[in-house]
Amino acid sequence: MLTLDLHRLRFYARIYAKLILLQLRAAVEYRADFWIGVVGAVLMNGAGLVFIAAFFSRIPAVAGWSAWEVATLYGLTMIAYGLREMLCDGIWTLRVQINRGEFDRLLVRPLSPALQIVTSLASIHGVGNVLLGLVVFLTATHRLELDWTVAKVLWVLMTVVCGLIMVTAISFLANVIGFWEPGTQSSFPFMVSNVVEFAKFPLELYGWGIRFLVTAVLPYGFVSYYPSLILLDKENPLRWLGYATPLATAAVTFVTAWVWRKGLARYQGVGH
Amino acid sequence: MPIIEARGLTKRFRRPVKPPGLGGALRHLVRPRYEDLTAVDGIDLSIEPGERVAYVGPNGAGKSTTVKLLTGILVPSDGEVRVRGIVPFANRIANARNIGVVFGQRTQLWWDIPVREAFRLLGDIYEVPDDAYRATVGELVEVLDLAPLLPVPARQLSLGQRMRCDLAASLIHSPPVLYLDEPTIGLDVAVKARFREFIRTMHARRGLTVLLTSHDLGDIEELCERMVMIDRGRIVYDGPFAELTRRFGYERSLHLLFSAPLPEAERVIHRAIGERAPVIIVQPDETSVTLTFDGRETSAGELIRDLATALPVADLRIEEPTAESIIRKLYEGTLSFDGADRSDRQAIRT
Ligand SMILES: Nc1ncnc2c1ncn2[C@@H]1O[C@H](COP(=O)(O)OP(=O)(O)OP(=O)(O)O)[C@@H](O)[C@H]1O
Ligand SMILES: [Mg+2]
């Protein structure tokens, strides 16, 4: 049902904000976890950044991309991914909740189960990713002497919002498998999710297989690469795809919503 | 008009049949096989507003599955269900506003969020107006004595404390229907008593309709006037709890104590009562004897009249079956539900 009910929408936004803030607060209260999360995020992505720095210290550009341009991609991806971790990480609890029957309780509340599942957890790890991503992105665009027009600012905002939605939608797709196979062992969701790593680098680096994968199957390319073609004014035959970013995001969201419904209808609970 | 109505309600689970061992699991990957398990099998149920119904049956009978069908968690394989005119699984959100649910095994609260915050969230989620929220939560906190628990996150609550918070959480939006699936599991005697008191109070104040599953006869006896018993997914008894003892309590025992040792009591008794009725005689020692008989065939009075002259009876005691013993026998299958059936006498002998 795609009826736009403004009251309902506002209501959902309010409940969502309350839930996620409470979860973030609870996460911060586990203090050791908080610091491990932040430091972990910085270390993990720091390694990637060191790699870029080392790589570009020898070669000035790869496939037409300079170091700071690649850093822009890297930063954008980290921001989108980190926001997802901060705001929608609960989806990663879906398989466990299905497996243990805890999902039951989401179905007896007058609230969309999808909203309840994304708010069942907030990860501090994301805060580190977002902060580091921001630093990297802002430094890179500064070094590139990007001319910040209003249009560009709006374009970046659109990119980040679409990126967050895209990454979240794909996380849903990856985890919805729990409705079909309620085991919690499968590494399938992690594999799907980790494809995002490709989006941190220009797609020119990859063969046609991977390009196709991140453009048409798990379109992580729209999280940073395609919109950056426009942001950074790159000459590229696929530049027009950058403008399709909102469309691609909407398409993935639509497919995800459809699969989610199919999965929900299959829910069988557990035996007690 | 009934508030809960089910007709022909059926739930079949499809379960993978996996031969044992790793080889079996692999074979299942290549050619999966499934079997159907009918957990709820054509149940007809009609509950009026304000009724308190105990839903009982042996382990695996299909009680929890029925509750999940009535709450809209599961989609029925067959049959119809309506709660306040709403089809639960088809309209989960509208249905959720009408019901409160408590599962004894798991909490409905948010694991890491303090109880007070969880209550407030529920108030927002159910869109309870401010003044109604204050009144309801005030009442629940007082009756359930929750004040000391409010700042504690759910993960730190003990089982009994968590249960009390869950109960309150299920009633914050003042639903007309409350489902309780084994709400007293693992509670101590005092908390159990308090729980029952609470349900009675809420029933009296709000006219709650309650459906409760429990293995604790005390819950059923104290809370519910009506009992529905299911066995292998089918309803085998639906009626007043008290009626159960009347209908199935035909097995009586007569304990006699002799004034002098009487080793051959069994022979004497058989001679004295003759062909009156089949009686099972157990003689634990030389000075006492227990006769078990069918209350529909003969009465304790007739037996006593026959025996009083033949035996040196010093004292006697008549024992009627308790609800517990009846239910146990019904679960074990040693007592049949077809009440008047002759084959019941077979059951008595076991
Ligand atoms: N999700 C499921 N998948 C497969 N089988 C299930 C599922 N849920 C329940 N069953 C089966 O359905 C039957 C009824 O289960 P149910 O949980 O309703 O029993 P119950 O009456 O609540 O028992 P108990 O008193 O032990 O709680 C059982 O045989 C159980 O194994
Ligand atoms: Mg059960």
pTM over 0.95: no
How many angstroms away from the CA of A119 is the closest CA of chain B?
10
Averaged pLDDT for residues A237-248: 93
Low-confidence winner among A142-146, A265-269, B8-12, B99-103 (lowest mean pLDDT): A265-269
Range 20-59 of A in CB contact (< 8 A) with B:
22-23, 26-27, 29
Contact check, Cβ <8 Å, A110/B126:
yes
Reading the block at residue B51, the tokens are: 């009724």
CB A191 within 8 A of CB A108: no
Q: Is B117 on the interface with A (CB under 8 A)?
A: yes
Q: What is the pLDDT of residue B321?
A: 79
Q: Is B343 on the interface with A (CB under 8 A)?
A: no
Q: Looking at the CA of B62, which ligand is closest?
A: 1
CB A132 within 8 A of CB A48: no
Lining ligand 1 with CB less than 6 A are A 268-272; B 13, 15, 37, 39, 57, 59-65
pLDDT of amino acid A47: 81
Of B236, B217, B213, B171, the residue nearest B53 (C-alpha): B213
Phi, psi values for residue B239, rounded to 5°: 180, -175
Calculate how close chain A gets to B19, using CA atoms only, in Å: 18
E strand or H helix at B253: strand B251-258
Tell me how far apart the alpha carbons of residues A164 and A91 are, in angstroms, rounded to a whole number: 14
So what's the pLDDT on residue B171?
A: 93
pLDDT, residue B250, reads 80
Mean pLDDT of A153-165: 96
Using CB atoms and an 8 Å cut-off, which of residues 242-301 of chain B contact chain A?
none
B323 touches chain A (CB under 8 A): no
Task: State mean pLDDT over A130-147.
Answer: 92
Instruction: Provide the H-helix boundaries in B145-255.
Output: 159-171, 189-206, 217-223, 241-248
Residue B9: helix, strand or coil by DSSP? strand
- Predicted confidence (pLDDT) per residue in A9-64, tens digit: 899 999 999 999 998 888 877 767 777 777 877 787 778 788 888 888 877 788 88
| Average pLDDT of the residues in A253-266 | 93
Residue B319 DSSP SS3: strand
According to DSSP, the β-strands at B34-47 and B313-319 are unpaired
Is pLDDT of A7 > 50?
A: yes
With an 8 Å Cβ cutoff, are A268 and B97 in contact?
Answer: no
Q: Which of B15, B64, B106 to mutate to test the pocket of ligand 1 (most atoms within 8 A of CB)?
A: B64
- Among chain A residues, the shortest Cα distance to B155 is held by A26
The pLDDT value recorded for residue B346 is 39
pLDDT class of A222 with cuts at 50, 70, 90: very high
Report whether B123 contacts B137 (CB < 8 A): yes
Average pLDDT, chain A: 88
- ∠ at Cα B34 (B32, B35), nearest 5°? 165
Q: For residue B293, give the 3-state DSSP assignment.
A: strand
- CA-based nearest distance B62→chain A, Å: 9
Is B103's Cβ below 8 Å from some Cβ in A? yes
Cβ of residue A18 closer than 8 Å to a chain B Cβ: yes
- For the stretch B240-266, what's the b/e string if a residue is b when 16 or more beta carbons lie within 10 angstroms of its beta carbon? ebeebbeebbbbbbbebebeeebeebe
B36 vs A257: CA distance, rounded Å: 29
3-class SS at B231?
strand
For the segment A172-182, the average pLDDT, to the nearest whole number, is 88
Chain A: residue nearest B64 by CA?
A272
- Residues from chain A that touch B93, judged by Cβ atoms under 8 A, are 110-112
Output the pLDDT for position B178: 96
Q: Is A46 within 8 Å of A78 (Cβ atoms)?
A: no
This complex has an ipTM of: 0.82
C-beta atoms of B73 and A104 within 8 A: yes
Judged by CB atoms closer than 8 Å, whether chains meet at A11 and B127 is answered as yes
As a whole number of angstroms, the distance between CA A34 and CA A18 comes to: 20
Beta bridge mates, B55 = B213, B228
User: What percent of chain A lies above the pLDDT cut of 90?
Assistant: 54
The CA B180 to ligand 1 mean position distance, Å, reads 16
Cβ distance A18 to B127 under 8 Å?
no
Q: What is the pLDDT of residue B336?
A: 63
pLDDT mean by block of 10 residues, chain B; 350 residues: 94 83 77 87 94 93 95 94 94 94 89 92 94 93 92 91 93 95 88 90 91 90 90 90 79 88 85 81 88 85 86 88 79 62 38
Rounded Cα distance, B171 and B137, in Å = 9
Would you state the pLDDT for residue B337?
Answer: 57
DSSP type of residue B86: B
Domains of chain B are 49-245 (3.40.50.300), 250-319 (3.30.70.260)
Q: How many CB atoms lie within 10 A of CB A75?
A: 25
